[in-house]
Structure 1
Amino acid sequence: MRLTKATKQMMLQLLEERYEGMETALHYNTPFELLIAVILSAQCTDVRVNVITERMFPRYNTPEAILTLGVEGLEEQIRDCGLFRSKAKNIMLTCQILVDDFASQVPGDMNALLRLPGVGRKTANVILSHLFNVPAIAVDTHVFRVANRLRLAVGDTPREVEDQLMQAIPREKWSEAHHWLIWHGRKICKARRPLCTVCPLMESCPSKVVE
């Protein structure tokens, strides 16, 4: 089912009205803390990441400080995070690159960010959007699911969905719309049991489930 441009615009307007002003649920105080938190958030809830970073960041919130831990020490810090071994390895490599090549600063360029182990396009878009005010749509599992269900974008890969969302959403709204879709996926359009009967988009949603 293909939706008209007008229907998509109406959906986006309803999402904006519901979630306007919503931001990331990750806790951070510095650009580097956000980078680490987003790397940790892959296949891990923001709630769990916040537990880990609130424990770790008071002592280890710079590339240099994390490097003093070594891989095994960092593994102990993030052991309750999914995929903690691979994340620890990637974070250590990322910290070394930041120290060696970027004066310990988080770069504000997509290509530079993608050089960092553990940083894919989604993470890079989050960093660019939050820290450098670059319009971007980061496609995580919530954005991917909600965009496909609503037919705002229909794609088999995050990049396909990102490209289509950029066509459907005005550029100046990209970063905000990313949050609308995330929060809608968390609160209503859930993976297993979407709460269709309380969804403000129910009437126009092509994937609604009515029990």
Structure 2
Amino acid sequence: MANRTYSSDQLGHWEECISLPPRFRRLASPILDLEYLITLHTHQIVKIPYENLSLHYTPTPRVSLNPQDLFQKIVGNARGRGGYCMEGSIFFNSILRSLGFKVERGVGVPQGKYDGWVHIVNIVTLPDGSKYSVDVAFGGDGQVVPLPLTPFSEEPPVFTNFGSQQIRLIHAPVPPENQESPAATQSLSSQYAKFVDEEPQRF
């Protein structure tokens, strides 16, 4: 598999780490469908925390985005560690690619004024052509399931998130709160999220 980052042994350790049910483990040959993606997303956010301890509580605050370093930190060391958005999303991107999913990185602005790209998500295209935003590294208000990317002409569905919280993805211009940025008034598809079709950059 050309896009495989992690070995079968590594994937097995990760499946154990997130307590993935047996019918969704690789040995059961699960179908690359929405049910499988939802299960992976749910178990990932339940077992792998959003945290930034490496940025604040180490004498040398250096964070590696190398997929092998991320695997060692999150799974290999078995210390219950996770990471901030770049770490968590790049790690999960490598997991999904290694499992056979077609996945791209999307970068954007999580809220408020446009100050440049400060967050990263994954965009998964399922075999039926449907696309989903998969964000496992946003923290407390992050999405609890993959969210469908709807065509521009359709009203985006609303999903229940935590408790009474509701979320949705909206295809619209980024609010022009920072007029210094020429990107602020352009469309969401080209400015809020940048989809990369080619092989992702290796860190």
- TM-score, normalization: structure 2? 0.25
Name whichever structure is richer in strand by fraction: 2
Larger radius of gyration: 1
TM-score normalised to the size of structure 1? 0.25
Higher helix share: 1
